[in-house]
Amino acid sequence: MSSISYEKAIKLLTYFEKREDLWAIGPCSLELIEAAQKALGLSISGCYLEFVLEYGALSFGSEEISGIVNDDFKLTDDFTNSFQTDAVSQTLDLRKTGLPHHLFMIYNTTWGEIFCLDYSNIDAFSKEPTVVTYYLGFDHEAQNYEIIARNFGDFLLDRVTEAICVNECDED
């Protein structure tokens, strides 16, 4: 289902493209992805790999899906690399404060909750990491790692669909 969901999400993105409300950093090179994988100690694959290859990172409506944006995997004091769409830098920075190494941050709700690809929980059907919640400031033992999507394709489809609904409601 992951690739079907991913393909549906990509088709639905034309809604934002027509409104000139779609922004992407990509595409991302294989060399940059390999550098990110080495820095993270994780292997990026499946729909998320397709996503970063095509978009790098993506913003649509009020949504921002974090990705791989450059090879400078650190946050800087002058904020040149600190924007929300840099998943690698943010993940590495969050690891300093306790984010487990099996999690890769792909979305920040800005409410103290982030959504991560969970490489310790691979979906049996899609063979991709599930997308789980992680609450900043809580100990590892207090986390429940709620699964919010079986894989990245399902997650992206949910975000795009919700963003379209929000835009449609705002226009009424």
For 84-95, what is each residue's pLDDT tens digit?
678 999 999 999
| Mean pLDDT, range 121-126, rounded to an integer | 89
How far, in Å, CA of 105 to CA of 115, rounded? Answer: 6
- Report how far apart, in Å, the C-alpha atoms of 50 and of each of 63, 91, 113, 172 are: 19, 20, 25, 35
Residues in the chain: 172
Model pLDDT, residue 126: 87
What is the percent of the chain where pLDDT is above 70? 89
| Mean pLDDT, range 3-22, rounded to an integer | 91
Q: How many domains does the chain have?
A: 1
Predicted model pTM: 0.89
Q: Is the peptide bond before 129 cis (omega within 30 degrees of 0)?
A: no
Model pLDDT, residue 140: 84
Query: DSSP characters for 80-104?
Result: TT-STTBHHHHHHHHHTTT--TTEE
pLDDT-derived band of residue 170, with 50, 70 and 90 as boundaries?
Answer: low
172 vs 105: which has the higher pLDDT: 105
How far, in Å, CA of 124 to CA of 111, rounded? Answer: 30
Least confident of 59-73, 98-112, 144-158: 59-73
Model pLDDT, residue 139: 86
How far, in Å, CA of 96 to CA of 74, rounded? Answer: 12
- CATH number, domain containing residue 86: 3.40.1580.10
User: Which H/E stretch holds residue 107?
Assistant: strand 103-108
| Mean pLDDT, range 45-61, rounded to an integer | 94
For 74-116, what is each residue's pLDDT tens digit?
655 444 444 567 899 999 999 999 999 999 999 998 888 999 9
For the chain, the average pLDDT equals: 88
Range(s) of the domain holding residue 153 = 2-171
CB 42 within 8 A of CB 104: yes
pLDDT-derived band of residue 70, with 50, 70 and 90 as boundaries?
Answer: confident
